Structure 1
Amino acid sequence: MNDDIRATELRCNVDGGEPLGIVSLDEAMDKANELGLDLVLIAPDAKPPVAKIMDYGKYRYQEERKLKEQRKNQVKIDIKEIKLSVKIAENDISYKVKHAREFLEQGKHVKFRVFLRGREMANPQAAKDVLLRIWPMVEDIGVMDKSPKFEGRYYNMYVLPKK
């Protein structure tokens, strides 16, 4: 911007006004100084480069406000992870499913994760069976986002709350 621009000729526009056309860098700087504004390079790769005469401080302020507004309107998704094992008892499953149902009712995403230890890696189907036993217990309030999938030493299943 301003004195850092190295191009000799620019296609120049005035913020909120008519385009000046292709002018030399000196003419564009003189016009910007006359208006009390900054000369900002918009498209340096164009032939000829495009510059705009504008209030750069005001422009930066407006961009920061836009970003802040976007961040404020974002929805943060909470993912709750429930860890299980292949050799889990029925009462433990019901206890963990009870917590998963609470999370889903609060609108949180739930990730069921079965960890395979040692020789359990030889039979990963057992972990998938545990997840498929859990699914009927939560399907009335949840939607399966990702079906049981084998990843490393884990079998994972994602459940989202129903709308």
Structure 2
Amino acid sequence: MVGDKGEQLGILPILQAREQARKINLDLVEVAPTAVPPVCRLMDYGKYRFEQTKKDREAKKTQKVSLLKEIRVRPKIGEHDFDAKARSARKQLECGDKVKLTVMFRGREITHAELGLKLLKKMADSLTDIATIEGQPSLLGSRMHLTLLPKAPAKATKVKEGQETANA
């Protein structure tokens, strides 16, 4: 058994451990059930749970959820429409989301899959400054896919005033 301040109280029978917990108005919590003998701790369980949920909420605030956005194009897309789709992809990448580029083929267009590949390469080349390509283009059924990942933002290394560099 471990006390409320972390001190060892020794090996005690369950009834005696419960009695000690009741005397000092704390809860007896089993922290290592697989140990031989099992390890229990005296603590205020309500306060412990409150602190855990508080830590979880703080961790969730700093977490960034990366979504996968899809942009669909056809092999015979016009130049202006292509530029609009490229701007849309750029906007999504700047927000930190992954972008899945999809070329949809209809009917006999699939016989010219190289047009779709050329279109995906053109789109990826127009976004190389803010994105990296994940894998190779893949053809699944009548659709060709390519996934782009946003590049990590460059961290500025600033030296605060009055602070010397490590080499100086």
TM range (shorter): 0.7 to 0.9
Alpha-carbon RMSD across the aligned residues, in angstroms, is 2.4
Q: Determine the C-alpha separation between the residues in 1 that align with 2:109 and 2:43.
A: 66
How far apart, CA to CA, are the structure 2 residues paired with 1:83 and 1:42? 52
**TM-score normalised according to structure 1 size:** 0.77
- TM-score normalized with structure 2 length: 0.75
In the alignment, structure 2 segments of 5+ residues that lack a partner are: 154-168
User: 2:35, 2:141 → 1: CA distance?
Assistant: 48
Tell me which amino acid in the other structure corresponds to 1:54. M
AA in 2 matched with 1:26: L
Residue equivalent to 1:77: 66
Aligned to 1:5: none
Give 1:154 shift.
3.3
Tell me: CA distance 1:13–1:122, structure 2 relative to 1, closer, same or farther (3 Å).
farther
Task: Specify the code of the residue in structure 2 equivalent to 1:67.
Answer: D
Partner residue in 2 for 1:134: 123
Determine if the alignment matches structure 1 residue 154 to structure 2 residue 140.
no
Counterpart residue type for residue 131 of structure 1: L
Please tell me whether residue 62 in structure 1 is matched to residue 62 in structure 2.
Answer: no
- Tell me which amino acid in the other structure corresponds to 1:14: G
- Per the TM alignment, residue 108 of structure 1 is displaced from its structure 2 partner at its CA by 4.0
Deviation at 1:92, TM superposition (A): 2.5
What residue identity is the alignment partner of 2:80?
N
Aligned residues between the structures:
152
- What is the CA–CA distance in structure 1 between the aligned matches of 2:86 and 2:12, rounded to whole Å? 71
Q: Aligned residue for 2:35?
A: 46
Shift of the alpha carbon at 1:124? 4.7
Residue pairs, 1:73-112, within 5 angstroms: 73-112=62-101
Structure number having the greater strand percentage: 1
The list of structure 1 runs, each at least 4 consecutive aligned residues, that deviate by more than 6 angstroms after superposition, is none
